[in-house]
């Protein structure tokens, strides 16, 4: 056998480790191009050598970590070219997903969009009232949930998976902009109200325009 199958026992540990490392990459605790050594990561996050290697392989597949020519792993770079490429992919993937979801989604999908939007707005209000690490994390997770809900009725599991993958890759850029005060949360709320209204009215053209405007504003301003 060339590849060992991950056991059911490993899966919760790997998911937990991946979530913690993914979060620290997004928040800048693990810096772009930083080398990731198995022993050091185990001391910081726990887990066995095997589970940590599985975790890093998962993060490589997501584009959060790079394998270095059989010499280990490092955090992926975060250059202007990286940002431009991630922006391109988010626009292409999310607009396709939303268009398909608007064509195929029913009342249950509309209700899910309304609920996810409400959760995101509550998190945004909490962030404005108390901008600490916990509220930033809650807000970012709510934003991710809303993004995935918008495409959830597209009928393509791979398209949904790609939406989550490229959103994760964009997180450190948008969170850096948030820390620098370069995301206008009031303007963002207005954009999302307009996006929600267009979605519920099934106005695909306006919805896609609002979605593109929001993604660009979050990542480029």
C-beta separation of 168 from 86 below 8 A: no
pLDDT, tens digit (0-9, with 9 covering 90-100), for 172-193: 999 999 999 999 999 999 999 9
Evaluate if residue 10 carries a pLDDT over 80.
no
What pLDDT is stored for residue 2 in this prediction? Answer: 37
Evaluate if residue 110 carries a pLDDT over 80.
yes
C-beta separation of 30 from 75 below 8 A: yes
What pLDDT is stored for residue 117 in this prediction? Answer: 98
CATH C-level class of 80-219: mainly alpha
- What's the topology of domain 10-75? Arc Repressor Mutant, subunit A (1.10.10)
Could you tell me what percent of the chain has a pLDDT over 90? 88
Confidence tier at 6 by pLDDT (50, 70, 90): very low
What pLDDT is stored for residue 4 in this prediction? Answer: 44
- Domain extents for the chain? 10-75, 80-219
Q: Is 67 helix (H, G, I), strand (E, B) or coil?
A: strand
Mean pLDDT of 120-146: 94
Burial class (CB in 10 A: 0-12, 13-18, 19+), 24: middle
What pLDDT is stored for residue 220 in this prediction? Answer: 87
- Tokens, residue 167: 């959103």
pLDDT, tens digit (0-9, with 9 covering 90-100), for 50-99: 999 999 999 999 999 999 877 789 999 999 999 999 999 999 999 999 99
To which H or E segment does residue 59 belong?
helix 49-62
């Amino acid at each position: 056998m060339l590849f060992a199958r991950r056991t059911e026992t490993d899966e919760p540990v790997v998911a937990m480790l991946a979530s913690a490392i993914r979060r620290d990459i997004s928040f800048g605790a693990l810096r772009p191009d930083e080398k990731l050594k198995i022993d050091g990561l185990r001391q910081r996050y726990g887990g066995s050598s095997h589970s940590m290697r599985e975790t890093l392989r998962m993060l490589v597949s997501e584009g959060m970590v790079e394998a270095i020519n059989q010499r280990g792993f490092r955090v992926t770079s975060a250059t202007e070219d990286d940002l431009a490429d991630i922006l391109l992919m988010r626009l292409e993937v999310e607009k396709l997903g939303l268009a398909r979801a608007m064509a195929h989604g029913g009342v249950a999908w509309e209700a899910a969009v309304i609920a996810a939007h409400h959760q995101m707005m509550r998190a945004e209000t909490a962030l404005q009232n108390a901008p600490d690490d916990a509220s930033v994390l809650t807000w970012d997770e709510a934003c991710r949930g809303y993004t995935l809900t918008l495409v959830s009725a597209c009928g393509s599991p791979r398209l949904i998976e790609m939406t989550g993958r490229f959103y994760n890759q964009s997180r450190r850029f948008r969170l850096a902009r948030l820390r620098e005060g370069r995301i206008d949360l009031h303007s963002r709320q207005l954009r999302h109200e307009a996006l929600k209204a267009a979605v519920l009215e099934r106005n695909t053209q306006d919805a896609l325009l609002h979605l593109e405007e929001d993604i660009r504003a979050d990542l480029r301003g």
